[in-house]
């Protein structure tokens, strides 16, 4: 590989600028090449304000007439520039630009100066011309560099303080246009994509939008390709360890039944038959368990699709082998509920189920909760423990932990998941999620997991009707709850809670609870929030489960997992404060029995956009569609933190928008590693994957 050229060796860059670039992590010429624009401006075909698409940012050229600082009461100041648009069709119109609290701009603007503004333009309220609020701007200088900054598709870069846009652009222009781009392609790539030596220059100073798109596709492909190589190599190395282990280990290490198969006996005790999707997932798990490598499976299924049953199946397989299984849930309420369910299902089979949360540690057959006892539970017979995070620490010991199940895995970070599986040597792992991860995202993040999908709800589920209402409609909503509870149904009323530990918020639900107790009488109302003591939470949940209370006023602590089939109403107040995925989760608490259910989203959305967002809930109950919509609105970061995967964040690609590219990169990466697992033919790819510092970082942000 050619030696990287330090920026300081590029002629004509002043040392203080080299220092600024260094501050941005740009040390070599290649770093500069991979510092791609964050966006582009079309300065080739200026568009008239009069026909610009409404609500979309545009670039406007204008001359400064005058500027001033307006002080407002309360100390806020607005910097205002009165401008003359330069587009011939806009000559008759005025344009104002406003910047709040921007004293520093005072010196920038001089009458007659020409500037370019980028932002959204609106009709001015005074009826004369246009106004732009907080536009980005660039001063047009007639310094002979017009061919770089004007009359083309112009790159706009991320900057650091003290580094002007034009200076960085000029530098990149020189690097790209005046020095040969000697970057070799580190790995094979599809024919219809340009080589890097073409893609990089074109992504800085594209000759056309087509060229820019093609160049971006290439960089996105490379990014996904490297990511998929990492995932594929992880999987291969895991398989290698276990192949060699399997050869030395006694043949009975896995798969040997200590007790007779429990699967059939278990199904026989259930009041229902598994759905087709559940049966398929169980078979996929059984197949994994035949292999010498540990299982690493994601079970993805919409709320209410019956993931618990599949988990129990997997846990029974561990018990059959004489091993222990642990199920970790994100809340005590959910752990408790799983515990009760599992006891109900497994008691008839004589299998002990333990509970291990922060406040409770119990083995099934003994009131004592100490370690030796837990240990004794995991004797030769194999056993099952349900718990919360407390399983990770708090003295939870499982001698032969063969399976770890993580429920609602999106609620845990990657470290917590690993911590539990480290309690044993390479246990089988099943992670379950009900916040449906769009397939696209799952593939990029969990490329090294196998996935089972429950795409079918158990039969006999009542329909759910969803309606968005304003606060003025609340009296009608309460009347509806009174009628339905009188008819034997139950209801949830949920209030947002930003911080579980927040006393003020807890008080707020407390107040609503006092009010609703009166409003909803004679129905009995209970209160649940995160600051209750575990015993109190239990008490309320038990009463609700037994229909001793009909309405549960709650914070989102009931968001995940809670399963009370007789409840058919979900009212969510301040619904605009929830993400769609979370609303979907909450709504998943109803529609679990045979009766028709109702979800009412009460809110005062401030904008058209946030109403539109809520309305998505009226249109679909398909969790995957909702998750994709959420992803579209909020970006992947909010749904899955990057710590979920242990992979570096993506810089160029978007797994949703660029799904096709992701798929190609995955296939290609697997194929390449199959034929050339040691990457003998691609040493630079190997260097990227194995950490050749700067280059690796710049090429695909793989750190
Ligand atoms: P989730 O996938 O949201 O975790 P659960 O496992 O809590 O769903 O299941 C939701 C409800 O459906 C539970 O009451 C469970 O007993 C019930 N259930 C699960 N599988 C079936 C089935 N095959 N037929 C009928 N009901 C089922
Ligand atoms: Mg569940």
Distance 305 CA to ligand 2 centre (A): 8
Buried-exposed string 383-403: b where 16+ CB fall within 10 A, e elsewhere: bbbbbbbbbbeeebebebbbb
Please work out whether the CB of residue 458 comes within 6 Å of at least one atom of ligand 1. yes
Q: What is the pLDDT of residue 242?
A: 63
**Dihedral, CA of residue 218, residue 224, residue 229 and residue 232, to nearest 10:** -140
φ and ψ of 228, to 5 deg: -70, -30
Rounded Cα–Cα distance for residues 141 and 83 (Å): 17
Lowest mean pLDDT among 287-291, 374-378, 584-588: 374-378
Reported confidence tier of residue 368, pLDDT bands at 50, 70, 90: very low
Measured over the CA atoms of residue 647, residue 649, residue 651 and residue 653, the dihedral's sign is: positive
CA of 275, closest atom in ligand 1: 23
337 CB within 6 A, ligand 1: no
Ligand nearest to the CA of 588: 1
Task: Pick the ligand that lies closest to the CA of residue 560.
Answer: 2
455 Cβ below 6 A of ligand 1: no
**Residues contacting 685, CB < 8 A, separation 6+:** 186, 187, 226, 229, 679
Residue with tokens 């029995």: 593
**Residue pair 622/302 in contact by the 8 Å Cβ criterion:** yes
103-110 long-range contacts (CB < 8 A, ≥24 apart) are 103/69, 103/77, 103/79, 105/67, 105/79, 106/67, 106/69, 106/79, 108/139, 109/64, 109/67, 109/81, 110/64
CA distances from 204 to 158, 302, 307, 369 (A): 13, 43, 48, 65
For residue 607, the surrounding DSSP H or E stretch is none
Whether the CB of 623 sits within 6 Å of ligand 1: no
Q: What is the DSSP string of 449-492?
A: SEEEEE-SPPSSPPPEEEEEE-GGGHHHHHHHHHHHHHTT-EEE
Which atom belonging to ligand 1 lies closest to the Cα atom of 341? 16
Query: Rounded to two decimals, what is the model's pTM?
Result: 0.62
Distance CA 221, CA 213 (A): 12
Check if 530 has its Cβ closer than 6 Å to any atom of ligand 1: no
By alpha-carbon position, which residue is closest to atom 10 of ligand 1?
304
- Whether 404 and 428 have beta carbons less than 8 Å apart is answered as yes
Give the tens place of pLDDT for each residue, 316-338: 998 888 888 999 998 888 888 89
Looking only at the bridges linking them, the beta strands covering 153-156 and 121-123 are: unpaired
Q: How far apart are the first and last CA of the chain?
A: 20
Give strand ranges (E) for 292-349.
296-301, 324-328
Instruction: List, as ranges, residues with CB under 5 A of the ion ligand 2.
Output: 561
Is any atom of ligand 1 closer than 6 Å to the C-beta of 490?
A: no
Question: Which residues 6+ apart lie within 8 Å of 588 measured at CB?
Answer: 302, 303, 304, 434, 623
Distance 388 CA to ligand 2 centre (A): 14
The overall longest dimension of the chain from CA atoms, in Å, is 90
Say if ligand 1 is within 6 A of residue 301 CB: yes
Give, using CA atoms, the residue closest to atom 18 of ligand 1.
306
Q: Average pLDDT in the 343-354 region?
A: 85
Average pLDDT, the chain: 81
605: left (phi over 0), alpha (psi -120 to 50) or beta: beta
Where are any strands of DSSP class E within 107-219? Answer: 114-119, 121-123, 130-133, 136-139, 153-156
Q: Compute the distance from residue 497 Cα to the ligand 1 centre, in Å.
A: 27
The CA R_g of the chain, rounded to the nearest whole Å, is: 30
Mutate to test the pocket of ligand 1, among 277, 299, 300, 304 (most ligand atoms within 8 A of CB): 304
At 197, list the tokens: 């030596």
From 276, 312, 453, 458, the mutation candidate for ligand 1 (largest count of ligand atoms within 8 A of CB) is 458
Alpha-carbon distance of 696 to 687, in angstroms, equals: 7
Question: Distance of CA 480 to CAs 125, 553, 566, 589, Å?
Answer: 44, 16, 16, 18
Ligand 1 atom 15: residue of nearest CA: 306
ω before 674 within 30° of 0 (cis)? no
Q: Give which of 415, 369, 430 is closest to 394, Cα–Cα.
A: 369
pLDDT score of 260: 57
pLDDT of 140-159, one tens digit each? 887 777 788 888 899 999 88
> In the Cβ-directed half-sphere of 187, how many Cα atoms lie within 13 Å?
29
Q: Which ligand approaches the C-alpha of residue 309 most closely?
A: 1
Summarised one tens digit per residue, pLDDT across range 211-269 is: 999 999 999 999 989 988 988 887 787 777 666 555 544 444 444 444 557 788 888 88
314 CA to centre of ligand 2 in angstroms: 15
Ligand nearest to the CA of 334: 2
User: Which ligand 1 atom is nearest residue 308's CA?
Assistant: 6
With helix as H, strand as E and coil as C, how does 616-632 read? HHHHCCCHHHHHHHHHH
592 in contact with ligand 1, CB cutoff 6 A: yes
The CB of 304 under 6 Å from ligand 1? The reply is: yes
Kindly identify the ligand whose nearest atom is closest to the C-alpha of 589. 1
For each of the domains in the chain, give its residue range(s) and CATH number, in order of start.
45-151 (2.40.50.140), 262-289+306-433 (3.40.50.300), 471-603 (3.40.50.300)
Q: Are 236 and 242 in contact (CB under 8 A)?
A: no
Nearest ligand, CA 406: 2
Q: Rounded mean pLDDT of 38-42?
A: 89
pLDDT (tens digit per residue) in 622-670:
887 887 777 676 655 444 443 444 556 677 887 767 878 888 998 899 9
Q: Virtual CA dihedral for 151, 156, 159, 161, nearest 10 degrees?
A: 50
Ligand 2 centroid–CA 448 distance in Å is 23
CA of 345 to the centre of ligand 2 (A): 15
The CA 30 to ligand 1 mean position distance, Å, reads: 54
How far from the centroid of its chain's Cα atoms is residue 343's Cα?
Answer: 34
Please answer whether residues 689 and 233 qualify as being in contact, where contact means their C-beta atoms are separated by less than 8 angstroms. Answer: yes
Q: For position 156, what pLDDT does the model report?
A: 92
- Please work out whether the CB of residue 436 comes within 6 Å of at least one atom of ligand 1: no
Whole-angstrom Cα distance, residue 384 to residue 309? 14
Cβ atoms of 685 and 186 closer than 8 Å: yes
pLDDT band at 271 (very low <50, low <70, confident <90, very high): confident
Parallel, antiparallel, or unpaired: how do β-strands 551-554 and 464-469 relate?
unpaired
Question: Per the structure block, which two tokens stand in for 514?
Answer: 């006092």
């Amino acid at each position: 590989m050619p030696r990287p050229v330090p920026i300081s060796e590029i002629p004509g860059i002043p040392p203080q600028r080299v220092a600024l670039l260094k501050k941005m992590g740009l040390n070599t010429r290649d770093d500069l090449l991979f510092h791609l624009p964050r966006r582009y401006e079309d300065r080739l075909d200026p568009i008239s304000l009069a026909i610009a698409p409404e609500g979309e940012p545009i670039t406007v050229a204008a001359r400064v007439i005058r500027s001033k600082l307006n002080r407002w009461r309360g100390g806020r100041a607005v910097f205002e520039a009165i401008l003359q648009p330069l587009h011939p069709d806009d000559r008759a119109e005025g344009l104002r630009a406003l910047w709040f609290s921007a004293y520093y701009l005072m010196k920038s603007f001089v009458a007659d100066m020409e500037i370019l503004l980028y932002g959204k333009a609106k009709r001015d309220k005074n009826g004369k011309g246009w106004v732009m609020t907080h536009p980005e701007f660039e001063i047009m200088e007639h310094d002979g560099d017009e061919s770089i900054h004007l009359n083309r598709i112009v790159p706009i870069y991320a900057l650091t303080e003290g580094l002007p846009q034009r200076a960085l652009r000029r530098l990149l222009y020189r690097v790209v246009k005046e020095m040969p781009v000697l970057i070799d392609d580190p790995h094979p790539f599809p024919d219809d994509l340009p080589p890097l030596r073409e893609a990089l220059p074109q992504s800085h100073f594209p000759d056309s939008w087509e060229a820019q798109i093609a160049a971006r596709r290439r960089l996105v492909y490379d990014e996904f390709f490297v990511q998929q190589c990492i995932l594929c190599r992880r999987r291969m190395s895991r398989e290698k360890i276990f192949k060699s282990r399997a050869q030395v280990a006694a043949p009975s290490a896995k798969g040997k039944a200590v007790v007779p198969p429990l699967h059939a006996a278990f199904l026989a005790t259930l009041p229902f038959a598994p759905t087709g999707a559940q049966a398929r997932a169980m078979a996929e798990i059984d197949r994994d368990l035949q292999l010498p490598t540990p299982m690493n499976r994601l079970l993805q299924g919409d709320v209410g699709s019956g993931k618990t049953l599949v988990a129990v199946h997997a846990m029974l397989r561990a018990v059959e082998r004489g091993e222990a299984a642990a199920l970790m849930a994100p809340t005590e309420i959910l752990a408790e509920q799983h515990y009760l369910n599992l006891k109900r299902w497994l008691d008839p089979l004589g299998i002990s189920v333990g509970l291990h949360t922060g406040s409770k540690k119990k083995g099934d057959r003994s009131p004592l909760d100490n370690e030796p006892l837990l240990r004794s539970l995991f004797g030769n017979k194999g056993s099952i423990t349900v718990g919360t995070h407390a399983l990770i620490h708090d003295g939870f010991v499982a001698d032969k932990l063969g399976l770890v199940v993580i429920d609602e895995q999106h609620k845990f970070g990657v470290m917590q998941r690993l911590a539990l599986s480290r309690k044993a040597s390479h246990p089988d792992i099943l992670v379950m999620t009900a916040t449906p991860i769009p397939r696209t995202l799952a593939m990029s993040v969990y490329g090294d997991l196998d996935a089972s999908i429950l795409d079918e709800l158990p039969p006999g589920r009542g329909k759910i009707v969803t309606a968005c209402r304003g606060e003025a409609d609340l009296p009608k909503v309460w009347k509806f709850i009174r009628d339905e509870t009188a008819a034997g149904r139950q209801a949830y009323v949920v209030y947002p809670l930003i911080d579980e530990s927040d006393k003020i918020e807890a008080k707020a639900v407390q107040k609503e609870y006092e009010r609703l107790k009166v409003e909803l009488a004679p129905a009995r109302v209970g209160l649940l929030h995160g600051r209750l003591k575990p015993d109190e939470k239990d008490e309320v949940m038990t009463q609700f489960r037994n229909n001793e209370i009909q309405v549960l006023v709650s914070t989102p602590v009931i968001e995940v997992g809670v399963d009370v089939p007789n409840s058919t109403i979900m009212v969510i107040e301040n619904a605009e404060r929830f993400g769609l995925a979370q609303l979907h989760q909450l709504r998943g608490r109803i529609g679990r029995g045979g009766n028709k259910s109702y979800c009412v989203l009460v809110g005062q959305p401030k904008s058209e956009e946030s109403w539109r967002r809520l309305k998505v809930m009226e249109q679909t109950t398909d969790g995957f569609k909702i998750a994709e919509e959420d992803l579209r609105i909020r970006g992947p970061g909010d749904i899955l933190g990057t710590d979920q995967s242990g992979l570096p964040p993506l810089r160029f690609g978007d797994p949703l928008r660029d799904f096709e590219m992701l798929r190609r990169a995955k296939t290609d990466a697997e194929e390449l590693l199959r034929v050339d697992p040691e990457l003998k033919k691609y040493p630079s790819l190997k260097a990227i994957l194995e950490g050749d510092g700067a280059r690796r970082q710049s090429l695909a942000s793989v750190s």
